[in-house]
Chain A
């Protein structure tokens, strides 16, 4: 048996994984009956269908007439394992009761969750994807504490680094223009409730 089509191989695994995951998680909810369907009924059926289709795609990878290498995109398994370890530890270690009234622990938990996410994103694909999505997530979490202007500058610089040729001067000008545009259009014009500077 030889894998002929790498794309089908991974796609099949992905669909099977999603299908089984939805099926397994559904079992925490009441199933109900065909007459009165519980919250688990529809997702269990769909999850099963997805897993079967995934298996079809998976086995097709061995007989496909389209040949495609197994390496579809860069994949760094070590980072994925690290992401799962950090993420799992964060999820199970911090109890809800423990976090209440302990700001330091909350910050630690958020930081670890963020680290896990970045390790996860970094496990797949090219450097440019990591940088863009990194910029996006940082923008999301920085917008409130740092304000629109600084968050914009950070996002523009990080995402510009993802490109092929990074020209410092150009990016600085772009960041300034877009920050100004954001303030005038989003905040003054459209009235979106963003603060402009830190601590406002």
Chain B
């Protein structure tokens, strides 16, 4: 371990351990868990809803709090998955399989405890991974020109479409639709307000929070209401929290393997929590006796929970070093950074080391707080689950509305969110996954800008994207990824994996 790392982490802890930031981290984790535990609200909607809370904070406090909200929401999502069998988001779908079965057998306590322990261990490892890998990656990224950035974004978008559920063509179409929607508003080069219907409200573009809240917040509520949520909550069965010795022994290996898989897959563009948890579960099934899986096997909770936390955290690496979000939650973090006046990218580490390292160390602290907070408070979260949905959803709608309105105090924003709610409903009904759209939406203007610059520098010669070595490799990887996905064998497994 080199000296610079320790020095950097020292800076980070200095920032993160200040009383004020510690408090924001605590509030973030608490609020994140509180909202995340509510069924049917994933981390994305939670962060979008709580974003306005951070507007008045200093940038570092805001980011620390948002990161805390993210872990909290993620952890809250697994609690819901185990107790109610409703995944808060795609990455806890896997946890439902065995976690819910454990709850039905009266072993909800150990399942929750193992999920918390696995997440904490994974969080510790992932923090170190970020601290080790981010600086060299940022150094490479500093050499990136517009062509490299463009190719990197193509790779990221391809990654996101490949991992989206359902049809690949639809996922690509959704990405492009997102890119186009991102272009609405004033064009930087010419000053022309594009696709704005002459409305002054649209000349600054469509707010990211508006799209996210409409597509993920409102649309989810509408779908839930339409389906008439019926659910069985295992509230009284959460007794002893402590896992038995046997549980610990059999899950420790699963936690280690899950952490390793998650840390690696989280770095990939388009990767993150979802892919990690799927991969970890599949591996566990391959390793040991598969007959217990789906019937309350504790390893089936430990591995994906560790993996999704590790993946969630290492997916910050592309965000912090390249300024490219690898999944929708990271796209929201970029939105939050921009609101705070920080342009994400490799320069953040050199220009604002206290911000960068403070955020990384606060991730570790956030994970620690999660364990301290959640294990004793589990009773309270469980109580929250018994609040009927008919009281819950009007409150969620209200918080979403207040959140959107407070962005710029314009009724128009709220109306636009309603329109995106309608679109979100239609997307779900037509089996068009909205996640790639969100990524495209954030990357749209960036991609156009870098494409323009690259073409200007190469005097209109598009071959520059392939002849520049880094750019060529990135584009090649994107094409390869697409081809692999289209290969019949992979296509079949992909369909099966998402059906499961």
Contact = CB atoms under 8 A, between A and B. Distances in A.
**Do A and B assemble together?**
yes
Interface of A: 7-8, 10-11, 14-15, 18-19, 22, 25-26, 29-30, 33-39, 42-43, 46-47, 49-50, 53-54, 56-57, 60, 72-73, 91, 117, 120-121, 124-126, 128-129, 132-133, 135-137, 139-141, 143-144, 152, 155-156, 159-160, 162-167, 170-171, 174, 178, 182, 186, 190-193
A155 B397 contact: yes
A193 B56 CA distance: 12
B393 interface: yes
B451 interface: yes
B425 A125 contact: yes
B401 to A, nearest CB: 5
B460 A34 contact: yes
Given A137-B415, A186-B402, A192-B402, A37 B56 contact: no
Centre residue among B218, B409, B452, B460 by max chain A CB count within 10 A: B452
B402 A22 contact: no
A38 B192 CA distance: 10
B430 A10 contact: yes
B451 A37 contact: yes
B190 A29 contact: yes
Contact of B394 (A30, A156, A182): A156
Nearest to B225: A128
Given A136-B397, A137-B414, A124 B177 contact: no
Contacts of A35: 455-456, 459-460
Contacts, number: 199
A30 B411 CA distance: 32
Interface of chain A, main secondary structure: helix
Interface size class of B (residues with CB under 8 A): 35 or more
Contacts of B195: 22, 25, 43
Interface stretch (B2-10, B262-270, B416-424, B478-486): B416-424
B222 A126 contact: yes
Contact of A136 (B190, B390, B421, B459): B421
A81 to B, nearest CB: 17
B173 A43 contact: no
B189 interface: yes
A132 B180 contact: no
Contacts of B452: 36-37, 42
B173 A57 contact: yes
